[in-house]
Amino acid sequence: MTSKSSNVTAADDGSFEAEVLRAAGPVLVDFGARWCGPCRALDPIIDRIADENVGRVKVVTVDIDDAPEVSARYGVRGAPTVMVFEGGERRAQRVGLTTKENLLKLL
């Protein structure tokens, strides 16, 4: 995953609980992979959401190759998959390349 924003946090199997499940407020989680073309196309959108919503939404990326346990636990079968978590629970999900507007609707 190639986030260029300092407002995007990377998580893996070891840090997912602390970064996502125990976070205060909504967390937008982008499950993707370095080899995935649609994931690379989504990266700038994810960065923009992170930069424009500092303090309102935490944005986390998860490379499915580096986090097989978390990916399996949440049934990630395609990349990119974007989920919204709040209070440790999954609240919304969208699979595939999408727009900034559609992702903001999930929040």
List pLDDT tens digits, range 86-98: 999 999 999 999 9
Element of type H or E holding 30: strand 27-32
Of all residues in the chain, what percent carry a pLDDT higher than 70? 97
Per-domain residue ranges of the chain: 8-94
Within 13 Å of residue 100, how many CA atoms lie on the same side as its CB? Answer: 11
Give pLDDT, residue 4.
83
**Cross-strand pairs, 85:** 27, 90
By annotation, the residues acting in catalysis are: 36, 39
What pTM does this model have? Answer: 0.96
- Write the pLDDT tens digit of every residue in 20-30: 999 999 999 99
Radius of gyration of the chain, Cα coordinates, nearest whole angstrom:
12
> CATH top-level class for 8-94?
alpha beta
Please, are residues 5 and 50 in contact by the beta-carbon 8 Å criterion?
yes
Residue 4: enclosing H or E segment and its boundaries? Answer: none
